[in-house]
């Protein structure tokens, strides 16, 4: 029997799916392309998929354009509360944190839990764990950018609709602080060894209740990775993604569909079943790439050995 071709390294990165306004589109596209290039740098040097995902996600956590780390949206109480996760396709290992406020890189904290005693830690317990691991911490205020402070004030003044789902659909309008939501960040990578990893980091939805956990840290919903099938990462209205198990749904379509078809099939299914609003990025185990979304826009970049530079989504769908 012919030996199967060796896996082709590839990476795909997202920076959120929502009504990204024209004047923020460039920053989103450039941000995801930079993160994609960083992840590709790891893969091209024979690095591991997990390290590639970490390179992309941690870079975006420090980019104030996105709703992850610095630049995260604020809760109803006016603080930043973040969720993050990583999944290792070799053994379906998962590390996740939820509702953390002072861990500088929630993604690194999530990764430190990969193959540890517990899959997920939240709140104070997660913060204590991160300190024990020697991970960097900072003040909650260090994550807050002026844009989000103004949005919070506008929300308090009643200028922003309370329904977070509507925010993912709404066409950009009004002055910047009332626009929303923001872009969670995520990445899926496959390395030369055929290992697949997926990960993401988020400040969640603007005006969420403190203690709310979205899809991002939940395996099967916000992310999925299994070397035997493929990997996916999601973004958008978390409550719909959670009810749909969107990442797992998308990957399960790889059994009889291409990566691109699997992405769109899962989005269509979510639309029909739970009226969700979201985007998904996906990689199959042979390194084929796909993405789909039913929000007005989604920031996406991908790279593989056939491209000279990371591909970035254009100005139109
Ligand atoms: N899915 C994230 C959440 O609901 C938000 C986003 O992707 O923008 O927490």
Q: Which is the closest atom of ligand 1 to the Cα of 181?
A: 8
Domain assignment present for residue 314? The answer is: no
Residues of the domain holding 159:
10-305
Mean pLDDT to the nearest integer, 29-44: 98
Domain assignment present for residue 5? The answer is: no
Domain assignment present for residue 14? The answer is: yes
**Number of domains the chain is built from:** 1
Output the 3-class SS for the chain.
CCCCCCCCCEEEEEEEEECCCHHHHHHHHHHHHHHHHHHHHHHHCCCCHHHHHHHHHHHHHCCCCCCCCCCCCCCCCCCCCEEEEEEECCCCEEEEEEEECCECCHHHHHHHCCCCCCCEEEHHHHHHHHHHCCCCECCHHHHCCHHHHHHHHHHHCCCCCCCHHHHHHCCCCCCHHHCCCCCCEEEEEECCCCCEEEEEEECCCCCCCCCCCCCCCCECCCEEEECCCEEEEEEECHHHHHHHCHHHHHHHHHHCCCHHHHHHHHHHHHHHHHCCCEEEEEEECCCCEEEEECCCEEEEEEEECCCCCCEECCCCC
| pLDDT greater than 60 at residue 180 | no
pLDDT tier for residue 17 given thresholds of 50, 70 and 90: very high
Domain assignment present for residue 317? The answer is: no
Q: What is the pLDDT of residue 30?
A: 96
Q: Which candidate in 58, 65, 75, 184 is catalytic?
A: 184
Q: What is the pLDDT of residue 160?
A: 61
Q: What is the pLDDT of residue 172?
A: 42
| pLDDT greater than 50 at residue 29 | yes
| pLDDT greater than 70 at residue 19 | yes
Q: Which is the closest atom of ligand 1 to the Cα of 168?
A: 8
pLDDT 10s digits, 250-303:
999 999 999 999 999 999 999 999 989 999 999 999 999 999 999 989 999 999
Q: What is the pLDDT of residue 127?
A: 98
pTM exceeds cut of 0.85: yes
Domain assignment present for residue 31? The answer is: yes
CATH code of the domain containing 242: 3.60.20.30
| pLDDT greater than 70 at residue 215 | yes
Domain assignment present for residue 247? The answer is: yes
Q: What is the pLDDT of residue 298?
A: 95
Rounded mean pLDDT of the chain?
91
> How many angstroms is it from 2 CA to the middle of ligand 1?
43
pLDDT tier for residue 176 given thresholds of 50, 70 and 90: very low
Domain assignment present for residue 58? The answer is: yes
| pLDDT greater than 50 at residue 227 | yes
Task: Tell me, yes or no, if 249 is annotated catalytic.
Answer: no
pLDDT 10s digits, 53-72:
999 999 999 999 999 999 99
> How many angstroms is it from 109 CA to the middle of ligand 1?
19
pLDDT 10s digits, 162-171:
555 555 654 4
Domain assignment present for residue 248? The answer is: yes
């Amino acid at each position: 029997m012919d030996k199967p071709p060796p896996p082709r390294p590839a990476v795909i990165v997202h920076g959120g799916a929502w009504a990204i306004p024209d004047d923020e589109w460039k920053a989103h596209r450039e941000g995801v392309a930079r993160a994609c290039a960083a992840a590709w740098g790891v893969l091209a040097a024979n690095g591991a998929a997990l390290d590639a995902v970490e390179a992309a996600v941690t870079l975006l956590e420090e980019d104030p354009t996105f709703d992850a780390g610095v630049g995260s949206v604020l809760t109803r109480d006016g603080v930043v509360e973040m969720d993050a996760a990583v999944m290792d396709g070799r053994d379906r290992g998962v590390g996740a944190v939820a509702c953390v406020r002072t861990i500088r890189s929630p993604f690194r904290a999530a990764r430190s839990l990969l193959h540890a005693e517990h899959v997920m830690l939240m709140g104070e317990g997660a913060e204590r764990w991160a300190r024990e691991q020697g991970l960097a911490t900072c003040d909650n205020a260090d994550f807050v950018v002026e844009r989000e402070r103004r949005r919070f004030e506008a929300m308090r003044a009643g200028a922003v609709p309370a329904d977070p789902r509507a925010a993912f659909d709404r066409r950009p309008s009004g002055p910047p602080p009332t626009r929303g939501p923001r872009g969670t960040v995520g990445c899926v990578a496959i390395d030369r060894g055929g290992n697949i990893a997926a990960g993401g980091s988020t400040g969640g939805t603007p005006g969420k209740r403190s203690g709310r956990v979205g899809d991002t840290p939940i395996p099967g919903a916000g992310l999925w990775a299994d070397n035997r099938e493929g990997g996916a990462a999601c973004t958008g209205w978390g409550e719909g993604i959670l009810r749909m198990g969107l990442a797992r749904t998308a990957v399960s379509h790889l059994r009889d569909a291409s990566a691109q078809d699997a992405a769109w099939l899962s989005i269509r299914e979510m639309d029909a079943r739970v009226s969700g609003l979201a985007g998904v990025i996906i990689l199959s185990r042979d390194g084929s790439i796909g993405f789909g979304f039913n929000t007005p826009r989604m920031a996406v970049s991908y790279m593989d050995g056939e491209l000279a530079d990371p591909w970035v989504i254009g100005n139109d769908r």
